[in-house]
Structures are given as C-alpha cells and as structure tokens.
Amino acid sequence: MATIPLLTPHKMGKFNLSHRIVLPPLTRNRSFNNIPQPHAAVYYSQRATDGGLLIAEATGVSDTAQGYPSTPGIWTKEQVEAWKPIVDAVHEKGGIFFCQIWHVGRVSTYDYQPNGQAPISCTDKGVTPGLDGVDWSPPRRLKTEEIPLIINDFRLAARNAIEAGFDGVEIHGANGYLIDQFMKDQVNDRTDDYGGNLQNRCRFPLEIVKAVTEEIGSDKVGMRLSPFANYMETDDSNPEALSLYMAESLNTYGLLYLHVIEPRMVRIGDRLESPYSLRPLRNAFKGTFIAAGGYRRDEGNKAVDENYADLIAYGRLFLANPDLPKRFELDAPLNKYNRSTFYIPDPVVGYTDYPFLEQLPS
C-alpha cells in the first residue's frame, strides 16, 4: 500500500515524529479538584503511538486560571506528581507529549476564582453573560505592575511541566482566553504599554514566550493561536497583520512550533471552507507548522502534500478514535464522536470507552 502524506515522518526540532497526525489539546473536565486523575493515563496512552505527538488538554498555570469544572492544573507539587504517571504512560508507548499551559482570563466566574474574586483580564469588559449558557462574571483589569506576576506563573508552569516529564509545553494563545484577550483589539482597551498598537497588544504574549523559552529552552516550546476566530467575543480588526507579526516575532525566539486553528469548525449546516488561508503564516514561520480545525483524512493528506502545514491536528476525530493513525493508514471507517459526553465527569464513558478497530464487530 502506498504511504499517505499524513503517515510520513517529520523532524520537529530534536523530535523525530513518525507521522503527522497530532492529538490537539482537548479539555475533558475529568481532573477533579484540578488534579489530573489516573484515568487520564489510560486515555492518553490509548492515543499514543511510537513517534506520535500528543498535546495535553489546557492546564491551568495558577489558581486564577480556571473557568470550567474539573480542569487540570500544573502549579502545585501535587498536580506535578499526578501528571508524572500519565506522562510515563505516554512515553512507554514512544509518544511525544507536550502540556498546553493556560489561563482563561475573563472566561470565568466568581465560582472558579480564589475567595470568589473577579476573574482577571486585560480589560474590565466582561464576556456577555449567558453566552454558551454561562453567567460569566465581570473581570477585573490587571494593573500594569501585576502583569509580570502572571508571566511568571507561565514560566513556573513550564518548569513544572518539565519536572512532570513532559517533552515541552504549548502556550495557549488561542480560543479567546487570557493571551488572546490581550492580542485582539476588540477586547484589549488598555492605555498602558500592554494595549493600543499591535506591538503593545502582543507584548504580554511575547513576554510569556520569552520567559518560558528562557526557562525550559525554545526547543521545547510551541504556541497555539486562533487569529481568525472570535471565540468568546475576541475579534480583531486585522487578524492577518496580527498573526504575521506574531509568527515573525516567534521566529526571533526560535520557537519549536506554531499551531494555528482555522475557523472552519464554526460552520453551520453544510461544510464551509475557511475564508482565510494560513499560507502567509506558514511561509512566515520558520519552525514546524501545525494546522487544526475541521480536517478530514483527505484534507490532511492534501495539506501535507501541498506543504500547507507540516502536521495536522485532529480534535474530535482523535477523541473518538484512539487508534486514528492506524485507521487513516488503513482508510478504515471511523467511530463517530458523541458531543454529549465530551465534558461529563465520567472516568470511562465518552472518554476511554471508544472502541479500537479490532474491537469492532467484523
């Protein structure tokens, strides 16, 4: 059988990937009290392959970083210890495992904050209460002198991730969370050095990149962006300029990879193509380029074949198909994902019980 482009090797810095099918970060809300649980070892190792890249779900950098139930953290010793067997389980299968480090910013409520305080952000404008069915609490605008403290939380989280055994970290700059809030001009209304023009709005993300790369080495750091999406009301008037500026700035830090989400997952009804091309970004960024967002097998093959991206991340398909690389290799039928179990707290149902190919009735 001829090898498909998705199943060809790729060298990502010092990592020799055996194929190009990536597990992107997927929040699964099963980390009770913000502690990753033993069932996560089963879940991730099910999806690990020798030389395959996995990125762990969004993981909080501090006690102000959460906005959803039972998401994991990596700011305490207990959390670091809890991650270790999960990372080991992935490594036993030869997988390469990165941790996505995350702060939700204003996408939170008093309930998730220490002492019921207001969530923090670059702004005091809140997410519209009721969006996605949640009564989002109004945020508190960070003072200029507090910003280095948050940057330091990312630095320490990266150090902790390495201590837990992860091969590297992905800085979560996507999907409307804190870093995205700073970058996008329809949210950031600051008048200090962290707001206003493009350079100022990108200062916070790039200071995080600087701190994290200094802490653990740029050969272990990737970043995720969603410049063309407006999740959680984060619009920008010029996403092309914003993303190109970020890609070029990330080059100066020698970042290992750039992981960009195309906004096609927000389609309604029949499939829509993304109105934006990632090609200029891909051409601007010097490291490994990962594309995500609504890809199917044929589209991923085409994207790799046309050098549109080095790697393709498959979210919902990988969630529902623990052996996705094998299924793509064989062009086998895929399990369908069940949206209603994405975020339930069950340690098995909708999590580790999606069948492998050989478990299916023939």
**Which region among 76-84, 155-163, 290-298, 325-333 touches ligand FMN (by CB under 6 A)?**
290-298
Q: Is the CB of 200 or the CB of 341 nearer to ligand FMN?
A: 341
Site for ligand FMN in 53-82 (CB under 6 A): 57-58
Task: List residues bridging with 97 in a β-sheet.
Answer: 54
Residue located via tokens 């997952």: 265
Q: How many CB atoms lie within 10 A of CB 305?
A: 12
Q: Is 289 helix (H, G, I), strand (E, B) or coil?
A: strand
180 lines the binding site for ligand FMN (CB under 6 A): no
Q: How far apart (Å, rounded) are the C-alpha atoms in residues 300 and 5?
A: 8
Site for ligand FMN in 232-261 (CB under 6 A): 261
Tell which one of 166, 295, 351, 354 touches ligand FMN (CB under 6 A): 295
Tell which one of 265, 266, 284, 334 touches ligand FMN (CB under 6 A): 265
Q: How far apart (Å, rounded) are the C-alpha atoms in residues 191 and 304?
A: 42
Q: Write the CB contacts of 360 (distance below 8 Å, at least 6 apart in sequence).
A: none
**Which amino acid is present at 230?**
N
Tell which one of 10, 200, 342, 344 touches ligand FMN (CB under 6 A): 342
**Which region among 22-30, 91-99, 153-161, 272-280 touches ligand FMN (by CB under 6 A)?**
22-30
25 lines the binding site for ligand FMN (CB under 6 A): yes
Report which of 254, 122, 272, 261 is spatially closest to residue 200, judged by C-alpha positions. Answer: 122
Tell which one of 175, 188, 213, 274 touches ligand FMN (CB under 6 A): 175
Provide the token pair at 187: 């949210």
Q: Is the CB of 25 or the CB of 126 nearer to ligand FMN?
A: 25
- Rounded alpha-carbon distances, angstroms, from residue 162 to 165, 166, 170, 194: 5, 5, 12, 29
**Which region among 203-211, 213-221, 248-256, 312-320 touches ligand FMN (by CB under 6 A)?**
312-320
Tell which one of 4, 17, 22, 26 touches ligand FMN (CB under 6 A): 26
CB 222 within 8 A of CB 170: yes
Tell which one of 172, 203, 282, 297 touches ligand FMN (CB under 6 A): 172
Report which of 255, 257, 256, 229 is spatially closest to residue 242, judged by C-alpha positions. Answer: 229
Q: How far apart (Å, rounded) are the C-alpha atoms in residues 258 and 247?
A: 8
Longest distance between any two alpha carbons in the chain, whole Å:
63
Site for ligand FMN in 124-163 (CB under 6 A): none
Q: Write the CB contacts of 347 (distance below 8 Å, at least 6 apart in sequence).
A: 30, 37, 39
224 lines the binding site for ligand FMN (CB under 6 A): yes
CB of 55 to ligand FMN, least distance (A): 8
Q: Write the CB contacts of 8 (distance below 8 Å, at least 6 apart in sequence).
A: 19, 20, 304
Sign of CA dihedral 119, 181, 122, 65: positive
**Which region among 44-52, 185-193, 266-274, 289-297 touches ligand FMN (by CB under 6 A)?**
289-297
**Which region among 20-28, 90-98, 244-252, 276-284 touches ligand FMN (by CB under 6 A)?**
20-28
CB of 336 to ligand FMN, least distance (A): 13
Q: How far apart (Å, rounded) are the C-alpha atoms in residues 275 and 285?
A: 20
Catalytic residue among 43, 44, 112, 177, which? 177
CB-based closest residue to ligand FMN: 315
Our answer to whether residue 177 is catalytic in this structure is yes
Task: Point out which residues bind ligand FMN (CB under 6 A).
Answer: 24-27, 57-58, 100, 172, 174-175, 224, 261, 265, 292-295, 314-317, 342
> Would you name the residues annotated as active-site residues?
177
